[in-house]
């Protein structure tokens, strides 16, 4: 049995019950045995084994290893790792090799984390089911007929299926929390700017954050502590002190928890998931926390605001993929214009093209103010009201997703149904708030959970609360 936390990994290695090479071999066997889940775009098997051997040798020579020695991680295929491929799940970046390493990953590597491979995801992180990947869908290990969530679906299944200990994902609108919840894991998205975005392929730059998926929230706390903080390569990562997130949690404090009755009463919310959120609220109340119903006025505007702003940002961010500088170039192209058009038409999948078109439309001169400007104003209202609530309460508790993992293929022809399913997660990204998905078990053999959000920079409170 492979360990399911950093603490258990350390124990196994320190006691000599296992070597790092045993551990990596175990994960590689799990990958091999579960190829049908389509979790990895690429496995760095030889490299991971070589690094494990180096660590074992160093350990037996009595050398001091980093805080993540023996910790095997996966990286979502949107995170750059020097000398390794990165494709954002897209044909347009097929064969592209990253010239540098993302700051977040660099910091984890400096503490001796071992990267086992890069995981499948929705193309350019656009999706909620991992069905928009050029490499085909990833499948949920709890039921391979179902999606693992998205866009960090491969990341979630990499941990769920026991192929690594911790996964790096990214969240623009829920891509860490929702797949974590669909796969029975903790999924944590920090405050916007807490972790540098340098080396994370951009989707919606004012939303994007790297996040972590794991079985044990203590592991997330340590990964965050190591990777957070200022970075000269990302001006949105401020020079704000990084607290010792991984220290033993302060427990016993009574918290104020807000919830939205409108959400709990919503017809669109699956009854099982309503019950999960309701049970969590009841339990917290019984434990002596103050649980209060609050009003949020803008639910109807959340999804439209998110999709206007993120598609606008994406249309600009993705303009650099033009067949000239990176990856795929159409072999049919004859002149410059033709190269742009054909490379982009052949290189991008349907969903990405749809979003580029929508983004270009909302930014076009005649419509800019009606859509983009209006959405920016709506974002401000949404953010201000949430922050006002969080000035009075420690956390907001919500479901993660309105539905349980759906069947692969069931929703692919209905983009709007997919967009609407993001309603409970995108609000944290619109407001830049830290948020975590907490697993609570299974219903009908499918993982379920709920979500907690806190005010900006209150990661420590969130992590302490879910750990105590």
Q: Distance between CA atoms of 449 and 277, rounded to whole angstroms?
A: 8
Among positions 174, 190, 347, 405, the unique one binding ligand GLN when judged by CB under 6 A: 174
Contact 134, 91 (CB under 8 A): yes
Query: Which residue number, 78 or 280, has a Cβ lying nearer to ligand GLN?
Result: 78
Among positions 103, 120, 128, 196, the unique one binding ligand GLN when judged by CB under 6 A: 128
For 389, phi and psi rounded to 5 degrees? -60, -40
| Degrees, nearest 5: CA angle 409-410-415 | 90
The DSSP result for 168-202, as a single string, is: EEEESSSTTHHHHHHTT-EEEE--TTSB--TTBPP
Nearest distance, CB of residue 351 and ligand GLN, angstroms: 8
For 234, residues 6+ apart whose C-beta sits below 8 A from its C-beta are 103, 193, 196, 197, 198
Among positions 37, 41, 79, 125, the unique one binding ligand GLN when judged by CB under 6 A: 125
Among positions 34, 98, 175, 460, the unique one binding ligand GLN when judged by CB under 6 A: 175
Report the candidate in 142, 167, 68, 152 with the shortest Cα–Cα distance to residue 110: 68
Among positions 158, 172, 191, 411, the unique one binding ligand GLN when judged by CB under 6 A: 172
Subset of 300-329 contacting ligand GLN (CB under 6 A): 310
User: In 3-state terms, what secondary structure has residue 278?
Assistant: helix
For 330, phi and psi rounded to 5 degrees? -60, 130
Nearest distance, CB of residue 171 and ligand GLN, angstroms: 5
User: How do 395-399 and 446-453 pair as beta strands?
Assistant: antiparallel
Nearest distance, CB of residue 189 and ligand GLN, angstroms: 9
Query: Is 142 one of the binding residues for ligand GLN (CB under 6 A)?
Result: no
Query: Is 209 one of the binding residues for ligand GLN (CB under 6 A)?
Result: no
Among positions 2, 18, 75, 126, the unique one binding ligand GLN when judged by CB under 6 A: 126
Question: What size, in residues, is the chain?
Answer: 468
Query: Which of the ranges 1-9, 21-29, 171-179, 212-220 carries the binding residues for ligand GLN, by CB under 6 A?
Result: 171-179
Q: How many residues line the site for ligand GLN (CB under 6 A)?
A: 13
Q: Distance between CA atoms of 41 and 24, rounded to whole angstroms?
A: 18
Which residues are registered as beta bridge partners of 453? Answer: 396, 435
Query: Which residue number, 23 or 41, has a Cβ lying nearer to ligand GLN?
Result: 41
Query: Which of the ranges 119-127, 156-164, 233-241, 277-285 carries the binding residues for ligand GLN, by CB under 6 A?
Result: 119-127
For 58, phi and psi rounded to 5 degrees? -60, -40
Nearest distance, CB of residue 179 and ligand GLN, angstroms: 9
The CA-atom distances, in angstroms, between 167 and each of 108, 152, 176, 305 are 12, 9, 10, 29
Query: Which of the ranges 23-31, 169-177, 330-338, 339-347 carries the binding residues for ligand GLN, by CB under 6 A?
Result: 169-177
CA dihedral 253, 258, 261, 265 (to 10 degrees): -60
Query: Is 359 one of the binding residues for ligand GLN (CB under 6 A)?
Result: no
Among positions 422, 455, 459, 461, the unique one binding ligand GLN when judged by CB under 6 A: 422
Query: Which of the ranges 122-130, 292-300, 375-383, 441-449 carries the binding residues for ligand GLN, by CB under 6 A?
Result: 122-130
Among positions 162, 173, 399, 405, the unique one binding ligand GLN when judged by CB under 6 A: 173
Query: Which residue number, 180 or 454, has a Cβ lying nearer to ligand GLN?
Result: 180
Nearest distance, CB of residue 177 and ligand GLN, angstroms: 9
Query: Which residue number, 173 or 439, has a Cβ lying nearer to ligand GLN?
Result: 173
Q: Distance between CA atoms of 213 and 165, rounded to whole angstroms?
A: 9
For 336, residues 6+ apart whose C-beta sits below 8 A from its C-beta are none
Query: Is 180 one of the binding residues for ligand GLN (CB under 6 A)?
Result: no
For 191, residues 6+ apart whose C-beta sits below 8 A from its C-beta are 209, 432, 433, 434, 456, 457, 458, 459
Query: Is 434 one of the binding residues for ligand GLN (CB under 6 A)?
Result: no
Q: Tell me which DSSP letter residue 468 carries.
A: -
User: In 3-state terms, what secondary structure has residue 180?
Assistant: helix
Question: What is the set of active-site residues?
Answer: 76, 151, 175
Query: Is 127 one of the binding residues for ligand GLN (CB under 6 A)?
Result: yes
**Interface residues toward ligand GLN, by CB under 6 A:** 125-128, 151, 171-175, 203, 310, 422
């Amino acid at each position: 049995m492979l360990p399911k936390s950093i603490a258990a990994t350390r124990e196994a290695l320190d006691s000599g019950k296992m070597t790092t090479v045993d551990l990596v071999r175990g994960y590689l066997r799990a990958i091999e045995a579960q190829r049908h889940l389509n979790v990895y775009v690429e496995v760095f098997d030889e490299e991971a084994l070589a690094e494990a051997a180096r660590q074992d040798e160093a350990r037996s020579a009595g050398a001091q290893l980093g805080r993540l020695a023996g910790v095997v991680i996966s990286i979502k295929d949107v995170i750059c790792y020097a000398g390794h491929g990165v494709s954002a799940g897209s044909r347009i970046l097929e064969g592209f090799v990253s010239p540098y390493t993302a700051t977040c990953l660099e910091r984890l590597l400096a503490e001796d984390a071992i990267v086992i491979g890069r995981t499948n995801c929705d193309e350019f992180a656009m999706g909620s089911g991992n069905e928009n990947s050029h490499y085909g869908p990833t499948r949920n290990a709890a039921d391979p007929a179902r999606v693992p969530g998205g866009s960090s679906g491969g990341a979630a299944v990499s941990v769920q299926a026991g192929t690594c200990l911790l996964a790096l994902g990214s969240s623009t609108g829920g891509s860490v929390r929702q797949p974590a919840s669909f796969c029975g894991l903790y999924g944590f998205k920090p405050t916007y700017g807490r972790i540098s975005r340098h080396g994370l392929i951009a989707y919606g730059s004012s939303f994007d954050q790297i996040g972590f998926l794991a079985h044990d929230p203590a592991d997330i706390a340590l990964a965050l502590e190591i990777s957070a903080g200022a970075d000269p390569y990302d001006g949105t990562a401020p020079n704000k002190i990084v607290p010792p997130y991984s220290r033993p949690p302060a427990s016993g404090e009574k918290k104020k928890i807000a919830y939205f009755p409108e959400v709990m009463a919503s017809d669109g919310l699956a009854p099982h998931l309503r019950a999960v959120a309701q049970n969590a609220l009841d339990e917290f109340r019984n434990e002596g926390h103050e649980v209060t119903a609050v009003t949020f006025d803008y639910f109807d505007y959340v999804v439209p605001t998110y999709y206007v702003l993120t598609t606008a940002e994406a249309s600009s961010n993705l303009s650099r993929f033009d067949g000239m500088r990176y990856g795929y170039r159409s072999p049919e192209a004859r002149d410059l214009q033709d190269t742009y058009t054909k490379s982009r038409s052949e290189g991008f999948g349907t969903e990405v093209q749809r979003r580029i078109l929508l983004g270009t439309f909302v930014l076009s001169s005649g419509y800019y103010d009606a859509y983009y400007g209006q959405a920016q104003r709506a974002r401000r209202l949404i953010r201000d009201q949430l922050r006002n609530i969080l000035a009075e309460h420690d956390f907001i508790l919500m479901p993660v997703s309105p539905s349980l993992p759906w069947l692969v293929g069931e929703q692919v022809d209905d983009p709007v149904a997919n967009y609407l399913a993001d309603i409970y997660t995108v609000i944290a990204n619109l407001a830049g708030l830290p948020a975590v998905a907490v697993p609570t078990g299974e219903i009908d053999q499918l993982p379920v959970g709920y979500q907690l959000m806190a005010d900006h920079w209150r990661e420590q409170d969130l992590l302490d609360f879910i750990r105590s």
